[in-house]
Each structure stands twice: as structure tokens, then as C-alpha cells.
Structure 1
Amino acid sequence: MAAPIIFVDAWRLLVLAGLLWVALTLVIAVALLTIVAYRIWFHQLSAIPGPRLAAVSNIWLARHVRNGRVRELAKHLHSTYGPIVRVGPGEVWVNSEEGFRKIYGNGYEKSDFYLATALNKPRLNWWLNPQFPDTLDLLSEFDLTRYRLQRRLLGPVYRAHHLKQFEPAIDRVVTHAISELRAIGGDEVDLKTWMHIIAVECLGAVVLSWSPGYIANRSDGGTSTQSYLGWRRKSVFGLFPMITKLSFVSKSLGRAFSNLWGVTFATPKQFKPFFTPVYQRVSRRVTNALRHPARAQGKRDERSDLLTALIKLHKDHPQFTENYLRRMAVTNFGAGHETLCSTLTAAIAMVGCHPGVQSKIAAEVRALRGSIDYDSIDLVPYMQASIKESQRLYPVIGLSLSRKVPLGGTYLHGHFLPTGTAVGCNPTALHRNPDIVGTDPDTYNPERWLQKDGSAQVSRMERINLIWGGGGRTCPGRHLAELIVFKVVAGLLQEFNVEIASMPNEEDMPCYFMAMMTGVKARFIPRPRPID
């Protein structure tokens, strides 16, 4: 009789387990449905228009980001739903002058998206609130007091009049690039790769009096491709701050999440990133300058580059710590190589696609003859307008520059945004808003920047844009970037006629938080040298 009893007891246990599983499944289903219903109909952001799926989970936005579709997404959302759109359970994008002024003009803190871009691993308390070390991370610094001190200390070094001393170094890079492009003889090249080559070479010359050998090799070793894949991964992680925090604790979790979303990428064999020699050179020079002054005096360092200026800044102002010094020297490359590449690619691509524009710029720069000094910038207004117009249409940032709504909440376009809401403007949408940039906002038209002095539209475009960031968080290296872009564009268009052999459609150029024009093929046709 024991066997039947045991069988009955086992059967009862199985039935009980099945009932518990069904009950648990129902509880989970009800909980999920409750969350969905709350986020769609009862959340404080529920009255803000936007796709229903976006209100449910960040998965909706992350899919578009993972697929590189944020440029088209920004334009579509605002054209469909208006100036304010809910793009996530707790995130809103705004496309208006009102939104720009309120978000970036009032010192809103950065949103948790920037956890994914942090250079250092934070300390996490029991509530998973991150505490980052004070090591100068300008993009991801959440402490506004700390950030303002860093910017104030850096200010004199990155002013335009101080950076002009580095023009000869940039000139040498441009001359070398022109020589190699002439030797190519008008063959088709990948525009982004070559603009990255020139960008890294310019930064190497200015910051470290050093060349990575990219121009001589006619290759960047695949570094631009690898870094862009890195931004794809960061852009997805940024939309899931809790996962990002947990990945600080467990690398395995981060890898699993990365694999789940298909944003894991392999490093090619024998891949040589330029950051390794940059780190080595910075470390060696800083150590020699600070640890071995006697050695430095015995063999004086005659280099006068940006690292020299940063070392002097540290010696003159101890608040600019050695940690700041080392980090900032490398940050010039980390923050500069991709933004410069993106800006240069867009500028040359747009000029190459518009022969009439190119002819006007060529006339301006060739009239200057010889090396083009930054003091002559006012003599090439059309070229400057063409660069601004390419930056307007193809900004270096593809996602919203998101901030946190401060304590007490705020109102935008008649909607209340509670404390902690991630809110920001997407540069692609903002820069194509006809209320700001005028008619035909999708058209490349440098003339829109050349209206009469005092034009309200030009003034508005200058003020209401995110080309260099927003409000008090604008790029500290802006003047260095503008100097390099000016010298490179002027130098190339003085020597070459640029022909675009292949221009992908916008939707075929992947765009993440960092945005670049990829797949553009160009020919640099040498212009006949003028006869004096």
C-alpha cells in the first residue's frame, strides 16, 4: 500500500507546484499590466504625446538607437507629435526655443544617461547611488561645482588667442595631408577615414608634438570604426541606467546585456589604438616634468605644445591637480578625435555635394594665397557659413543632450514635468526647426548664415543650437576644434576640387549618441596651381 500512497503524494505535490506556478505567472502578468497601464494612462507624463510603446519601456527607444536610426527618429517624432514628445517612461524630448532656454539656461544636472559614458568606475552605496572620483571627466561629470572649477581653471589655456600659437603645427599636418592626397591622384577614398586621419594627426601635433603616422600610412588602423562601435554600445547602455550601475559591480552582467542587445564587438587582431602611445607619452613627460626637475633642467624640453601649457597650469595653480593634468592631456584626444572627424566629414561632404558652394569657397580661399592664417577668418565668410550649415544639418550628437528636471518640477509647453524627468533637445530636430532656422530647414543653404548684420534669424541660430553643447556645459575645446576645422577645410579646398563619388541616404548612415556621416566616398582632384 505504501507505493500508491507515495504516488498520490507525489501527484499532489506536482499539482500544487503547478498551481503555484500558475499563480506566480498571474501575479507577474497582473503586475506587468498594472505597470503598463500606469505608465500609459496615469503617469505624470501620460498627457505628453508620443508613441504608446515608448511610454511603456526604454526598450522602444533603445531598439532605434541600437539600429542607428536616431537621426530619422528625431525628425519623425517632432513632425508627428509636436514640440514636446515622450520618448520613454521618464524621458521627454523638446524641440523649441522655450525648451532650449529652460533646459540649458538654468543649470539642470546631467541625466543618468551619462553613467554609460563615464571614464571611471564609481563607488556604489546600498541604494546604488554612484560616487565618482574627482579625476576630471568633463562629459560625464555630475557634480556641477566640481565641473565649474575645472572649466574655470582650464579657461585661459583654451582661449582662442592662446591656441593661435599652435597654427604652425596644424599647418604642417595639413601640408602633409595635401601631399599624400595629391599622390593618390584623385582615386576614391573613404571620407570619414581620411578626416579621422587628419583629426588625430592635428591633435597629436598640437597636444604632444607627435605624429601617429596615419597620414604616411594613409590609414587610421581602423580606430574610427572601433570607436564608433563603442558609441553604439554606450548609447544603448545609457538608456538603462540601472543595468549600467549593476555592470559597474559585475562585468559578467554587462557582457550578458551587451550580447543580448547585439552591441558586443570584437577587437581585431594586432589592432593598435592611438590611445596607447598617447598615454605613454603623456605619462613620461608629466613624470619627467614633475618628478625629475633636475633631469628636465639638464636636458631642457624645447617643445611648446598644449601639454607644455597644461603642465605649467598645474605648477601655477595646484588646484589643477596632477590627476587633472594627466586626464586633460588625454581628454584632448578622447573628446576631440571623433567630434573633429564628424565635423570635418560633414563639412567636406556637403561642399562636395554642392558645386556652386564649392566654387564660392574656392574663390575665397585661393584669393588668400599660400598659408591661411586664422586672423584671415573674416575674409572667408562663405566658407565659415558652409561649415556652420553642415554642423546644423549633421551635428556631432545624435541623441538628446538630456538633463534632469530639478526639485519642484517644471512646466514646458503646458505640460508638467516632475522632478527627475530626463528632458533635453535633440540637435537634429532643434537645428531643423523652421521657427529657429527659417524656411527650407532640411536644405543645405550657407546663405542663411549670411544675412545682414543684426538679422534676428542669424542671431537666433547662433544662440539656439547644440553644435558645441548647451548652456554652461559647452565644449571647453571649442576654440581648438574651430581652429583645426578652419585650417583643414581651407587648406583642402584651396588645393583640391572635392567630388563625392558615393553619398548614402541619411537612413543608411548609422547614428548613435555620437553621430557621423559614414560610407561617403570622395575624390580629391588637385586644382591647377595659380600662376603668379
Structure 2
Amino acid sequence: MSFVAPIALAGQVAVACVLFVVCVIVKMVFFVRVARMQRPSISRVPGPRLARWSRLWIAWALRTGRSHEVWVGVNREYGPVARIGPNHVITDDPEITRRILAARSGYVRGPWFDSVRIDPHIPNIVSERDPKKHSRIRAKLAPSFTGNSVATMEPVIDGLIAGWIDTLRKRFASPGQVSFDISSRIQYLTTDIITKICLGDEIGCVKHDRDMHDVLETVEVGNRVCQYFSVFLELNTLLLYLAKIPALRKALFPKVGDKAGVGRLMGIIRQAIEKRDKEEGSPSNDIVSSLLSRGMPKDQIDSEVVIALVAGSDTTSTSVQGTLLSIITNPQVYKTLTAEIRGAMARGNVSSPVIRDAEAKQLVYLQACVLEGLRKFPPLSQLRERVVPEGGDFLGMFHLPVGTFVGLNAWGLQLNKDVYGDNADLFCPERWLVDNPHRLHAMHQTHSLIFGHGSTKCLGTSIAMMEVAKVIFELLRNFEITIANPHKPWSSQCYGIFFQKDFNVRLRPVEDTYAQPPKYEQVILSDS
């Protein structure tokens, strides 16, 4: 999925923290100046009282690690268009969101996106704000994520999933095994898949059962720090100026050859690029080869593939985990889905060792569970602000002047009761099985906003949906899964994207569940 959180400064946490503190001090010194800049047309938009005076309110929301819940609470309390900053509003209205993201709407990406630059002088598909330049980048990337390319990727994905399931069986489902953290293992799988797709070889997280090259740690630390750069835009401007000084650029920004952080990841990508150069003429289906064949410069490939690796690993992992947790904590859903899986297997309607995408799409309850899992736990909560165009615009009941930043409430969109019904807060796959074409159309339209809309819609949507369905199916085909700690099934933190830990489960091979049940000695309680 595209729209990833900023990671460009992941290896420079200390420097970023210092700059953030400086920014906060400057912000407080000029508080009176900020107050004088209040715009009457925006002041009519309701929102938290403190939010109208300072962007520190947004920073507080991000710092909680629960910003997605904060955004939902704001729109529920103040309405579908609410104010969250001096020049910032947020919306959870599906119609407004579609209109803003539509082609030729006049809205453009705001300076929020500058914080997603890997290189200060090379915009990527996420950070590029100019619509025409963005379209040119997208045109070079799109062929790698559509049509025959996706069909070519499926056997690669199937091989990695099959190996992962076998690893789970050997390491965590053998007799005597206790609970284990499945969140990290799902992340290992999605990281191996996206590196195989992008670079031609997986980096081996599943094989070695660890975060190879600290890719996942780099992403988490980078997001934790850099989410503030999307709020305090002065930091981005300052860094762009500092980047003009060669010595400071080397210190502040990642580069090929770094031993850690994003630079280390860029080095791995560059190795794949050099390998393809040496193999010129040899057929290869990975994304690096595709971009080289389309004439994209190596520095640009570094940035684009870093974005793809982050988007294809963390967001897909979160989608799988959120869906899996919802299924295994709802007994009736678990029972219905496993019955569908067993029935399909008995009829010979699924391939082995991994279900084909075309076969998975025929399992209506599986697809309903995937749709509902993504709806209830969208993998992104970033505001992804757009800028009100010349002449201003009416959003809901309010006229917003040119230059106003409009944030998109991804979680709030998927909890809209007018679209999903009064039980929108519940995990209910059955809502996707109703015989009501108009309601289904409205739900699918709103659900698709998880992946963006218009010219900025995620290129990897079909791959992500295929992965989620396959992994959920294969887990439940092969194992009986139970939560180890029902009172706290996992720990999930939000930094624009989500990071799960301690998702501890127990696995029991399905074939064991049909064996003779264990015998227990009768326990007689005395009256004493």
C-alpha cells in the first residue's frame, strides 16, 4: 500500500529530537503571534478549544500513540468537519473525501507530504506534491503492480507463504510448544514477500526468525520521530536548507553505504540494482528490473523502492493481524469461516499447499472477513492533508479559505453509520452478505477509500488484498488458533502506521484437532 509514514530520518533520531525541541521552544515564544494569525472563516469550524491556537494539540494527539482514536473522537463530538489546528480541519465524510481526492478537484497535496522524502532533492511517489510530476512517477511504477505483473507475483507469494506455514508448524506447533508472538512472525513474512517482489530475493526474516538488517526497527523508530515533521513544517524547511551544506547533508539524511537505518536499506536496494546491471539481458520480474527498464535513475529507484518496502511490509502485516485478531476473538465468526474452509477443501475447490487468488475470491465468507477486518482496523491513520484551492471551498456547512489544510480521517470514514449501519462499531462480516445492491455499493465505495482515491490511489491494493486472504486462509486451514491472553490480546501503537507487539497465540495443527480427545482423570471434590 502507498501513503506510508515518513522514514527518511530513521537513522538520525537524536538530531531529529533536538530539532523538535527547538521547534517547540520557538512555537511557545511566538505563541502570541500565532494567536493573531487566527482566520475568522476557520474559527467558525468547531473543534477542541486548544487546537485553534496551536499545532501543539496535533502533536499531543500523535504523542499518545492513539491518534486514530483521537481523530475519531473529534469528528464524533464536533461533526464531520472539525478543526484540529490553527489552519487545520479534519473530515470523516466519505462524500467530501471522494470529492477532495477526485482528479481535477483543485486540491493538491499539502506540505505534510514533504516529511516523506527519503532524499531532500528527490521527491518520490508519496512525497511529490505536483500533480503532473506525480503522474509521471506513477506511470513508471504502475506496470509493476497491475495485470500480468500481479499474476507473475502470485507463485512467488505462494512459495513464501508455504515456507512460512511450514516454519510455524515446526517451531511453534510441535508438541510441548507454548504461546509465541505471531505479530513479529507475520511481519517477517510480509517483509520477505515485498523484498522478493522488489529486489528479486527475500532478505530472510522467516528463515532466521529475526528482523534482518533491522528493517522493521528502522521503520518504527523513523515513524515515531518523523510524524512530528508533518506537523511542524518549519523542520522540513530547515532541513532542506541544511541539506545544501554537504557535510550536514551527510549527517542528517540517509545515504547508500550507511551501516544502519534507511541508508542500510538503500544499500541493499543499490546492490540489487548493480546486480541487475551485470545481468543485463537476463529476464527478471522484480520491481527494480522493471524500473531500470523504464529508464528511472538509480537515486530515484532507491527512494521509490524504500517506500514500496515500507508500504508492502508494515501496512500489509497490520491488515493481516487486525483481521486475524477480529476472527479468532469472535467464536461465531471463527466457526463459520473454518466451516467454509473445511467445506472448500472437502469439495476439492482449493489448491495445495496455498490457495490460489481466484479460488479465495470464490469463498464469500472469507472475503467478507477480509473486508470487515480492513474496515475495522485500517492500516493507516495519517491525515494526508490536502490544501483548499484558490477561491476557497465549502466543506459541509463551512466555507474554508484558500490554503486551509484538510486532513482525512481514515478510521472515522470506516465507522460511518449512514454507510455501514448502526452497528458500524462492531466486527460483523455478515454486513457484506446482505441482499441490498444500493447499500453494498455505498459500503464498497467507502471501503475503497482505505486505499486512497483517484490519481493517488494505492498501486498495491490488489497485491495486498491477495496476501491478506491467502495468509488468513492458510493459517486457519493448517492450525487451530487461540489467544494466549484474552484480557490483553496484543499491544498496538500508532505512529501514522501501526506497530503490534505481544500478539501471543497458541497453534495446534488442524489434524490434531480430529484425533482422539485426551482422557482426564475424574476429580471428586470432597465435602470438607
TM-score range normalised by the length of the shorter chain: 0.7 to 0.9
Matched position secondary structure for 1:86:
strand
Q: 1:328-367 to 2 correspondence within 5 Å?
A: 328-366=304-342, 367=344
Partner of 1:412: 395
Q: CA deviation at 1:499?
A: 1.6
- Specify every segment of 5 or more residues in structure 1 that has no aligned partner in the other structure, as ranges: 1-27, 123-132, 252-268
How far apart, CA to CA, are the structure 1 residues paired with 2:205 and 2:28? 56
CA contact 2:179–2:484 (8 Å) conserved in 1? yes
Q: Is 1:219 aligned with 2:219? A: no
Mean CA deviation greater in 269-278 or 441-450: 269-278
Give yes or no for contact 1:503–1:519 (8 Å, CA) kept in 2. no
Task: Measure the CA separation in 1 of the matches of 2:512 and 2:288.
Answer: 37
CA distance in 2, matches of 1:323, 1:29: 39
The within-5 A match list for 1:84-483 is 84-105=81-102, 106=105, 108-122=107-121, 133=122, 137-183=124-170, 184-185=172-173, 187-221=178-212, 223-250=215-242, 275=265, 278-289=268-279, 293=280, 301=282, 303-312=284-293, 314=294, 318=295, 320=296, 324-325=300-301, 327-366=303-342, 367=344, 368-369=349-350, 370=352, 371-452=354-435, 454=437, 456-465=438-447, 466-483=449-466
State the Cα distance separating 1:421 from its structure 2 match.
0.7
Which residue number corresponds to residue 72 of structure 1?
Answer: 69
Which digits, 9 at most, give the CA deviation of each residue in 1:303-335, with x for residues without a partner? 5444444444x2xxx5x5555555444443132
- C-alpha distance in 1, partners of 2:50/2:490? 22
Matched, 1:524 2:516: no
Confirm or deny: 8 A CA contact 1:223 1:273 kept in the other structure: no
Q: Which amino acid aligns with 1:408?
A: G
- Residue 497 of structure 1, CA deviation: 1.9
Q: Secondary structure at the match of 2:83?
A: strand
Residues 34 and 224 (structure 1), Cα distance of their counterparts in 2 relative to 1, 3 Å cut: closer
RMSD in angstroms over aligned alpha carbons?
3.1
- In the TM superposition, what is the alpha-carbon distance from 1:504 to its structure 2 partner? 7.2
Change (3 A) 1:146 1:31: closer
Task: Give distance in 1, aligned partners of 2:98 and 2:409.
Answer: 14
Maintained 8 Å contact 1:212/1:274? no
In structure 1, what is the Cα distance between the partners aligned to 2:463 and 2:443?
Answer: 21
Residue 52 of structure 1: aligned partner: 49
Letter in 1 for 2:96: G
* Structure 2 alignment gaps of length 5 or more: 1-26, 244-258, 515-528
Q: Can you list the C-alpha shifts for 1:255-291, whole angstroms capped at 9, x where unaligned? A: xxxxxxxxxxxxxx999997256324322223225xx
1:36 to 1:204, Cα distance in 2 relative to 1, 3 A: closer
Counterpart-to-counterpart distance in 2, 1:220 and 1:351:
27
- Measured at CA, do residues 322 and 226 of structure 1 come closer, stay the same or move farther in structure 2, by a change above 3 Å? closer
In the TM superposition, what whole-angstrom CA distance separates every residue of 1:160-179 from its partner, at most 9, and x where no partner exists?
A: 44311222211111111111
Counterparts of 1:500 and 1:92, CA distance in 2: 39
Equivalent pair of 2:180/2:505 in contact (CA under 8 Å): yes
TM-fit CA distance, 1:31: 7.7
1:3 aligns with none
Q: Which residue of 1 aligns with 2:524?
A: none
Rounded to whole Å, the distance in 2 between the matches of 1:98 and 1:156 is 29
| CA distance 1:29–1:457, shift in 2 (3 Å) | closer
SS at match of 1:287: helix
Aligned residues: 460
* Partner secondary structure for residue 372 of structure 1: coil
Is the Cα–Cα contact under 8 Å of residues 361 and 380 in structure 1 kept in the other structure?
Answer: no
Give the secondary-structure state (helix, strand or coil) at the position aligned to 2:324: helix
Distance 1:428 1:214, change over 3 A: same
What does residue 254 of structure 1 align with? none
Residues 143-195 of structure 1: per-residue CA shift (max 9 Å, x gap): 11011122233333311443112222111111111111112125322232111
The structure whose Rg is larger is 1
Q: 1:420, CA displacement in angstroms?
A: 1.0
- Give the percent of matched residue pairs that are identical in Structure 1 and Structure 2: 24
Q: CA deviation at 1:487?
A: 2.2
Deviations 1:360-410 (A, max 9, x none): 222333423423111213321211111111111111111322111111110
Task: Tell me the distance in 2 between the aligned counterparts of 1:249 and 1:347.
Answer: 43
- The letter of the residue matching 2:201 is W
